[in-house]
Amino acid sequence: MWIAEGWKDYEVIDCSEGEKLERWGKYLLVRPDPQVIWSTPKTEKGWKKMNGHYHRSAKGGGEWEFFDLPEQWTISYKDLTFQLKPFSFKHTGLFPEQAANWDWFSEKIKQAGRPVKVLNLFAYTGGATLAAAKAGASVTHVDASRGMVGWAKENARSSNLESSSIRWMVDDCVKFVEREIRRGNHYDGIIMDPPSYGRGPKGEIWKIEDAIYPLVKLCAQLLSDQPLFFLINSYTTGLAPSVLSYMISTEIGSKFGGTVQSEEVGLPVTRTGLVLPCGASGRWWA
């Protein structure tokens, strides 16, 4: 398992009965987590003194209950600063476990000794985009949501990366990749963080089990002659790490050689010393 253990502004304090108690800067949030199927005593005082609690609804979805929480605040990871604001379906605008991947590809970029172009698909609020840019890459950031791209630009300003070479694109990721192939553009690194289910700007339906392999095949055509890395994140339990490895090996490894590895990604739990699994990632590198 790859563990995101470099955080100072974030921690999973405890988890029990389908929920996790988290510290985001100086604020405590309680959010549901389907992996937390055990029941342990909630002795941590934060369980009773949280600033926000997301309640799941029996009908699906849910809603936030706030106690003395600002509408927006910031936390930092190393040299990056992120704007947080709780919004629909329990999210805050950041997936802290992805710091394990940010550190990994940042080192690849820094050690490349040459200009590096990175494509970030389903780029959300830009955590991976900012990490790659801070490491020195030129990044193309693509997301179907105009609001998310705007949020990512806020994060870039907060991280003093406004003048960095980031190209912001509001677009359907598959259609963007197809156009980039026709244009003859290439990238040294590709990152994708696809949702399990989603819709494009014009209502295009995305279902990861059906769409991910065709997209990987397309993205293989976008890699440069000397690619550096390829990364897929999956929050879908149906896509085991071995499935990610097989896909990447078939389309990337067979063409470029290199190394393929896939693992669960996790966050350490302070109270118990255990690691909470948060999906899986598949990596290829030269």
Count of positions (residues) in the chain: 286
Q: Please tell me which of 86-100, 162-176, 178-192, 200-214 the model is most confident about, judged by mean pLDDT.
A: 178-192
What DSSP element (H or E) covers 244? Answer: helix 241-248
Contact 231, 282 (CB under 8 A): yes
- Which pLDDT band holds residue 10 (cuts at 50, 70, 90)? very high
- Which pLDDT band holds residue 210 (cuts at 50, 70, 90)? confident
Whether the per-residue pLDDT at 272 is higher than 90: the answer is yes
Mean pLDDT confidence for 197-220: 83
Alpha-carbon distance of 119 to 123, in angstroms, equals 9
Structure letter (DSSP) for residue 45: G
Contact 71, 92 (CB under 8 A): no
- Which pLDDT band holds residue 200 (cuts at 50, 70, 90)? low
Alpha-carbon distance of 237 to 244, in angstroms, equals 12
Strands, DSSP E only, in 25-106?
A: 27-32, 52-56, 62-66, 73-77, 80-84
Amino acid letter, residue 251: E
Packing angle, helices 208-220 and 241-248, rounded to 10: 30
Best CA proximity match to 126, nearest among 69, 71, 177, 169: 169
Mean pLDDT confidence for 74-101: 95
The pLDDT value given to residue 99: 98
Whether the per-residue pLDDT at 71 is higher than 90: the answer is yes
Alpha-carbon distance of 58 to 61, in angstroms, equals 8
Bridge pairing between strands 19-24 and 10-16 = antiparallel
Strands, DSSP E only, in 200-247?
A: 205-207, 229-234
Best CA proximity match to 121, nearest among 149, 96, 87: 149
> Across all residues in the chain, what is the average pLDDT?
94
- Which pLDDT band holds residue 201 (cuts at 50, 70, 90)? low
Q: CA 51, 264, 25: angle at the middle one, nearest 5?
A: 25
Longest Cα–Cα distance of the chain, Å, equals 58
This prediction has a pTM of 0.94
The more confidently predicted of residues 263 and 240 is: 263
